[in-house]
A and B are shown apart, each in its own frame.
Chain A
Amino acid sequence: MESVLALGGLVLLRDSVEWEGRSLLKALVKKSALCGEQVHILGCEVSEDEFREGFESSINSRLIYHDLFRDPLSWSRTGEALPGGPLGALQAMCRRTDPGPFTIALDSLSWLLLHLPCTAVCQALCALSHQHSRPGGSCPAEPVRVLGLLHEELHGPGALGALSSLAQTEVTLSGAMGQASAHILSRRPRQRPAHQTQWFSILPDFSLDLQGGPPLESQPHPDPHTPPVDPTAHVTFNLHLSKKEKEAKDSLTLPFQFSSEKQQALLRPRPGQATSHIFYEPDAYDDLDQEDPDDDLDV
């Protein structure tokens, strides 16, 4: 689980109805806050009080909360709502130039996908992830981390595929026997993606407890792939040779292999062997005329 936070970029937390991901999101937020980073939260699905519930005051003071839940369409003109709506809020985050490590938690990305066009969300996420590499063109000193909570069942394969291709790390939540597990797929640039499965549980104060594996009464896993088919199994002819046959085969010289013995044998006529005969039984229709039949042609 350390690798999830170590790599910068977009981290997708894909959850489902059975295995919810908000507690994992809050656990990761708490971890980043404890490391002393700036944490910005864009809250859309739950109210601010509900999100902050369970965090200690030291952590709560470090979280900068942008509330889109109370007034998502900016109907109240009191000026409290974020200008520009959700897209404006995302773009405002892109323009921040504070130095230092940065974590942005999007709760949730599904809400943004349902309210904004997918392309705008993808472009904003890409701009967020690559934000710190702009100035000077040098490598980013501190990674910008974007944690996005995505409810898998709400979206079609297109949107999920598009976001997966943008993400540096994808954490898919599942589990067995009451134990949650996270399947982590991390893509380092220009390297093969690495898979890892981690069993964990979240404690009441939102700290992460990594565990070894599922409890002992887990179901046996089905064989992941069928055994490879042996094409030589059920043929009607014999493809295997016994040892004696193999030796005989290896010692055989083929007609095209011209060895010196063969050469000598051809040059020297073998004694005692009669010259070859041709035995021919003439048919009833055969014409034994010795003349050349082509003489009849007037060529």
Chain B
Amino acid sequence: MAAVATCGTGAGSTGSIVATTSKNNVTSFQRKGPRASGTDSGCSRLVSIAGTRPSVRNGQLLVSTGLPALDQLLGGGLAVGTVLLIEEDKYNIYSSLLFKYFLAEGIINGHTLLVASAKEDPADILQELPAPLLDDNYKKDLDEDICNHQTPDSNIKMKIAWRYQLLPKMESGPVSSSRFGHYYDASKRMPRELIETSKWHGFFFPEKLSSTLNKEPCSLTHGYRRLLQFIQKVIYEEGFDGSNPQKKQKNILRIGIQNLGSPLWGDDICCTENCDNSHSLTKFLYVLRGLLRTSLSACIITMPAHLIQNRAIIARITNLSDTVVGLESFIGSERETNPLYKDYHGLIHIRQIPRLNNLIYDVSDVKDLAFKLKRKLFTIEIHTQKKFNLCIEEKNVDYNTS
């Protein structure tokens, strides 16, 4: 009311009254919500880092895995501070693709990358990242893809169960302003300028192997120990665990470890069933998870689980990771010729979803998922849907009486 008194000359329009109110600042109510851009808000208490968003279910900070379909299956994305373990398919084609999508998403969002491998040089891995798809190009491709896909079978519209036609087939295409998940074109390379402006650390194990001669006995395999020390050094020096609070803006560290558990890391769980250091990998995962939980980082690990001979180790590894996704490709197996699977390249199994600060799981109730790599995109669908379209026809009812 004091505000009205000060402009008592009767200005009349509500606009000027509002203007004088805000200028006088007599009210103690201030808006404290997150701003639209989010990065420069000094008064908001929520940490807004590029490429992250809070989960709608429990407020956990999530990053995208690089594949929006997978994000949807995992309940919105990968939680910061957790491990995504991918059990490789037999010839390591699709798992390395998921690995690259994860790293590419980090580059697009400006996150720092840490790439560790015992087989390929990290610089080579980064050169082969897929290029991001722009939104309008994708819409054009999606439309023409739908036109090409009109087989006679799919023209049978469901007449009695007509409401099921409106059901989406797992993903509805990209949102036009998708700042969270991006789509990638697997046939093109990411432009070099983007890679060069990004910040990344590489760990190539054969280079580190030659530099040490004395191996003191340790329960952790030599390779794993070096890798953990490297990760810890990067987290500490770059301040991802909050150890340098006055430094620049917070960012996420994306860690990618390729082919963990293969003999190239010095671990023999893939070679024999009764191996000497069977606890090495499990200890590594345990320490790694501790490092991740205390820092702003997310990790993707690909593991050749089909080579591990001892099933008990696989069960322990699954328990020690947070999210576990298994890929099974049809190449070379008898399922390749099965007509049920003829449109797909493999099956995807969600083996575990974590319970983070939560009492219940976030699992979707769909269990039989299949993936296919179209010309440019990796899609995940429920693979029994088409089968039902073909086999269900209405019973033999006499339609002539109404």
A residues adjacent to B (C-beta < 8 A): 117-119, 122-123, 126-127, 133, 137, 156-159, 161-162, 165-166, 187, 190-193, 195, 224-225, 228, 231-232, 237-241, 245, 248-249, 251-252, 254, 256
Minimal Cβ-Cβ distance residue in A for B309 = A158
Is B162 a contact of A256 with CB atoms below 8 Å? Answer: yes
Question: Which 9 residue pairs spanning A and B have beta carbons closest together?
Answer: A122-B263, A118-B271, A248-B399, A119-B263, A161-B307, A158-B309, A158-B271, A238-B396, A252-B399
A137 to B264, CA, bound (A): 20
A122 to B261, CA, bound (A): 13
B262-296 vs A, Cβ < 8 Å mask (1 yes, 0 no): 11101110111100000000000000000000000
Minimal Cβ-Cβ distance residue in A for B269 = A158
Interface residue ranges of B373-402 to A (CB < 8 Å) = 391, 393-396, 398-400, 402
Is A190 a contact of B264 with CB atoms below 8 Å? Answer: no
Beyond contacts A157-B309, A190-B128: 13 other A-B pairs, Cβ-Cβ < 8 A, are A122-B263, A123-B263, A137-B124, A158-B307, A158-B309, A165-B92, A190-B96, A191-B93, A193-B331, A193-B332, A239-B391, A254-B159, A254-B162
Is A156 a contact of B272 with CB atoms below 8 Å? Answer: yes
Is B91 a contact of A241 with CB atoms below 8 Å? Answer: no
Contacting residues, chain B, for A252 (C-beta < 8 A): 399, 402
Is B273 a contact of A232 with CB atoms below 8 Å? Answer: no
Interface flag for B144 (CB, 8 Å): no
Contacting residues, chain A, for B400 (C-beta < 8 A): 248
A65 to B393, CA, bound (A): 72
Max chain A Cβ within 10 angstroms of own Cβ: one of B91, B209, B337, B402: B91
Is B337 a contact of A225 with CB atoms below 8 Å? Answer: yes
B residues adjacent to A (C-beta < 8 A): 91-93, 96, 118-119, 121, 123-124, 128, 159-160, 162, 206, 209, 262-264, 266-268, 270-273, 304, 306-307, 309, 331-332, 334, 337-340, 391, 393-396, 398-400, 402
CB of B21, distance to nearest CB on chain A (Å): 50
Q: How many A-B residue pairs have CB under 8 A?
A: 99
Is B272 a contact of A118 with CB atoms below 8 Å? Answer: yes
Q: Which among B306, B331, B391 is the interface contact of A232 at CB below 8 angstroms?
A: B391
CB of A212, distance to nearest CB on chain B (Å): 25
A158 to B209, CA, bound (A): 23
Contacting residues, chain B, for A126 (C-beta < 8 A): 118-119, 206, 264
Is B96 a contact of A117 with CB atoms below 8 Å? Answer: no
Is A245 a contact of B266 with CB atoms below 8 Å? Answer: no
Is A249 a contact of B306 with CB atoms below 8 Å? Answer: no
Contacts A119-B266, A187-B91 known; A158 to B162 CB distance under 8 Å? no
Pull 22 A–B residue pairs with CB atoms less than 8 Å apart, ordered by A: A118-B268, A119-B267, A119-B268, A122-B263, A123-B206, A133-B121, A137-B121, A137-B123, A156-B273, A158-B271, A162-B262, A162-B270, A165-B92, A193-B331, A193-B332, A195-B332, A232-B391, A241-B393, A241-B396, A252-B399, A252-B402, A254-B162
Contacting residues, chain B, for A127 (C-beta < 8 A): 206
Contacting residues, chain B, for A239 (C-beta < 8 A): 391, 393
A191 to B334, CA, bound (A): 19
A162 to B267, CA, bound (A): 11
A119 to B270, CA, bound (A): 9
Minimal Cβ-Cβ distance residue in A for B209 = A123
Contacts A123-B264, A159-B271, A231-B391 known; A225 to B160 CB distance under 8 Å? no
Contacts A119-B263, A137-B121, A193-B91 known; A245 to B399 CB distance under 8 Å? yes
A45 to B124, CA, bound (A): 38
Max chain B Cβ within 10 angstroms of own Cβ: one of A117, A122, A166, A193: A122
CB of A55, distance to nearest CB on chain B (Å): 34
Contacts A118-B268, A249-B394 known; A228 to B399 CB distance under 8 Å? no
Contacting residues, chain B, for A238 (C-beta < 8 A): 395-396
CB of B36, distance to nearest CB on chain A (Å): 40
Contacting residues, chain A, for B332 (C-beta < 8 A): 193, 195
